[in-house]
C-alpha cells in the first residue's frame, strides 16, 4: 500500500479491508505518518473496512494537515454512513475548497436521516454557501420530514438555496398539481 504505485495500493486496500482489528490498528498508526501518500492510503483502507473502530480512527484524523487526506477521510466517513461524523462534516459546508464542500454534502446525504436535524439548522446559517449546501443535501435526501424546513427557506436571498429547495420539493411531489381528467 505504501509502494507509491496506485494500482498496487488499491489492490492492497481490497485485501486489507477484509482483515480484522489488528490491521485497523496498524492502518491507524499509518494515519500519523510523515508521508501524505501513506496517510491518504491508510484513510482509504480504513474507509473500506467494516469495523466500527475504523470510523473512530478516521474521525481522529479528520483534521489532517493535508487537504487531499481530509477529502479522502470525509468521503470515507460518508461511505461508512457514520452519523458520529456529522459534527465534523457540517462545518465543511463553508469550506473555500469547493471539492471539500461538495464531498461534505455527499457524505451528509449518504449518512441520511441522522443528518437531517443539523442540516435543517444549517439552513439558518448566515453564510449562503452553508445554506445552499444544506438545502442541496436535504433536497437529495428527500425525506418528507424536511418539507417544512425547505418551505421555510423557499424565499431565501440565495438563488442556489431557492433552486435546491425547488428541486427537493419537486422530488417529493410537493409542488405537483393533481387533477382528474
| pLDDT over 90 (residue 19) | no
* Cβ atoms 31, 42 nearer than 8 A: yes
| pLDDT over 80 (residue 1) | no
Instruction: Report domain extents, the chain.
Output: 1-80, 85-181
CA 175, CA 119: separation in Å to the nearest integer?
22
- Per-residue exposure over 99-125, b if at least 16 CB sit within 10 Å of its own CB, e if not: ebbbbbbbbbbbbeeebbebbbebbeb
- pLDDT digit string (tens) for 121-162? 999 999 999 999 999 999 999 999 999 999 999 999 999 999
- Per-residue exposure over 136-149, b if at least 16 CB sit within 10 Å of its own CB, e if not: bbbbbbbeeebbeb
Taken in order 62, 64, 66, 69, the sign of the CA dihedral is negative
Question: What is 85-181's CATH topology?
Answer: 1.25.10
- How many helical (H) and strand (E) elements, i.e. helices and strands, does the chain have? 11, 0
- Residue in 123, 90, 126 with CA at minimum distance from that of residue 108: 90
- pLDDT digit string (tens) for 86-117? 999 999 999 999 999 999 999 999 999 999 99
The predicted pLDDT at position 116 comes to 98
| pLDDT over 80 (residue 30) | yes
DSSP for 75-88 reads HHHHHTT-GGGHHH
The predicted pLDDT at position 181 comes to 63
Q: Given pLDDT bands bounded at 50, 70 and 90, which one contains residue 59? A: very high
CA distances from 22 to 11, 40, 177 (A): 19, 19, 57
Question: What is 1-80's CATH topology?
Answer: 1.25.10
Mean residue pLDDT across the chain: 92
Domains 1-80 and 85-181 share a fold: yes
Q: Where are the alpha helices (H) located in 34-181, listed in sequence order?
A: 36-48, 52-60, 67-79, 86-89, 98-111, 116-122, 128-141, 147-152, 159-171
- Residue in 134, 130, 104 with CA at minimum distance from that of residue 116: 134
The predicted pLDDT at position 38 comes to 93
The predicted pLDDT at position 10 comes to 86
Residue 27, all three cell numbers: 492502518
Classify residue 156 as left (phi > 0), alpha (psi -120 to 50) or beta: beta
Amino acid at each position: 500500500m505504501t509502494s507509491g504505485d496506485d494500482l498496487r495500493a488499491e489492490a492492497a486496500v481490497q485485501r486489507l479491508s477484509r482483515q480484522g482489528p489488528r490491521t485497523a490498528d496498524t492502518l491507524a498508526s499509518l494515519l500519523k505518518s510523515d508521508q501524505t501518500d501513506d496517510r491518504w492510503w491508510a484513510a482509504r483502507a480504513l474507509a473500506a473496512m467494516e469495523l466500527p473502530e475504523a470510523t473512530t480512527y478516521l474521525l481522529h484524523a479528520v483534521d489532517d494537515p493535508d487537504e487531499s487526506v481530509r477529502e479522502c477521510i470525509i468521503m470515507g466517513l460518508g461511505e461508512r454512513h457514520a452519523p458520529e461524523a456529522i459534527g465534523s462534516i457540517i462545518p465543511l459546508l463553508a469550506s473555500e475548497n469547493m471539492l471539500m464542500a461538495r464531498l461534505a454534502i455527499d457524505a451528509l446525504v449518504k449518512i441520511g436521516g441522522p443528518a437531517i436535524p443539523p442540516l435543517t439548522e444549517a439552513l439558518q446559517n448566515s453564510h449562503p454557501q452553508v445554506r445552499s449546501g444544506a438545502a442541496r443535501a436535504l433536497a437529495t435526501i428527500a425525506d418528507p420530514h424536511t418539507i417544512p424546513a425547505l418551505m421555510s427557506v423557499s424565499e431565501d436571498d440565495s438563488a442556489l438555496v431557492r433552486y435546491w429547495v425547488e428541486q427537493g420539493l419537486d422530488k417529493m411531489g410537493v409542488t405537483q398539481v393533481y387533477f382528474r381528467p
